[in-house]
Amino acid sequence: MAAYKASKYILYICCYLFWVASCVMIGVGIYAKVAKENDVVDNLATDPALLLISVGSLTFIITFLGCFGALRQSVILLKMFIGILTVILFLQIIAAILGFLFSDMVLWRTELLMKKAIALYREDMDLENAIDFVQKKFLCCGVSYYSDWSQNAYFNCSVNNPSLEACGVPFSCCVRQQNETVFNSMCGYKTQGTEESFIKKRIYINGCLKKIVQWGKQNLLLVGGISIGLLCLEICMISLAAVQLRQIQEMAKEENSESKKT
């Protein structure tokens, strides 16, 4: 009985914490989606707000099943919780294996996705902030090279481009100078098409994809540890739900057998 109560409340607390986190994710995603002036980007892969809503909704449904399945001792909810988590677990393992076997294809698809995001820069505030964060974090510019920004309508380096930012790059590509008190947000203007020796003093010219891959290789233990930790957490929650489900079924059998005896 003590083991049953322990598994019940541990499962409930874990699911409840993730349930609250999913509510926060959905709330932030909805707020970001509503607050946008131009709702142009509606693709899941390139819209951070839509991604938050989707992941948060999926987590909300799964943790709802776990929470109320544990609290109400519902066999149906616990079976659904175990089934969905098991499917997600296997999909994660399959995705990791396929990503390892077809790493070149994954990099190619990632490159295409990042270039699409660059083309949509300025169209979505959340996407713009995400790209600026990545470029400032990894000290990079563009996907493969800084000239990738020419694929954006605002930064395209052509004679017919009326944009004031034509032939430039975002401020997040700029090299921060030592002892700089006031940041020049126009430091990336007119940097495309000039001499590389001059450009290097103003902006980072290497792309972000290579920098991100290098960071992943250098922090392989951290990335692997987080991934394994998430998988272990999912396995633990599946195991707790399975233990509770078995105990509920055994208690139901005992009650049936006692009722038949009487």
- pLDDT on residue 118: 92
Residues 80, 141 share a domain: no
Residue 211 has what pLDDT?
A: 92
Residues 94 and 128 in one domain: no
* CATH code, 156: 1.10.1450.10
Please check whether residues 134 and 121 belong to one and the same domain: yes
Q: Are 18 and 83 members of one domain? A: yes
Q: d(Cα 168, Cα 194) in Å, to the nearest integer? A: 10
Q: What is the DSSP letter of 171?
A: G
Q: What is the pLDDT along the chain (262 residues), one digit of tens a residue?
A: 566 677 778 888 888 888 888 999 888 888 877 776 555 555 655 677 788 888 889 989 998 888 888 888 888 998 999 999 999 999 988 988 888 888 888 889 989 989 999 998 888 888 888 899 999 999 999 999 998 999 998 998 888 888 888 888 998 999 887 776 667 778 888 888 777 778 888 889 899 999 999 988 888 888 888 888 888 888 888 888 888 888 888 877 777 776 666 6
Q: Are residues 209 and 238 in the same domain?
A: no
Helices (H), the chain: 2-35, 48-71, 75-101, 103-119, 125-138, 196-199, 208-218, 220-261
pTM of the model: 0.75
Does residue 250 share a domain with residue 236? yes
DSSP-based three-state secondary structure for 173: helix
Question: For position 140, what pLDDT does the model report?
Answer: 93
Residue 175 sits in the same domain as residue 125: yes
Task: Output the pLDDT for position 38.
Answer: 54
70 and 38 belong to one structural domain = yes
Look at the chain and report how many structural domains it folds into: 2
Whether residue 138 sits in one domain with residue 115 = yes
Verify that 210 and 253 share a domain, yes or no.
no
Q: Give how far the C-alpha of residue 124 lies from the chain's centroid of Cα atoms, to the nearest Å.
A: 17
Range of the domain at 229: 2-101+223-261
- Domain-ending residue, one of 194, 214, 234: 214
Residues 18 and 63 placed together within one structural domain of the fold? yes
Q: Phi/psi class of residue 152: alpha, beta or left (left: φ > 0; alpha: ψ in -120 to 50)? A: beta
36 and 21 in a common domain:
yes
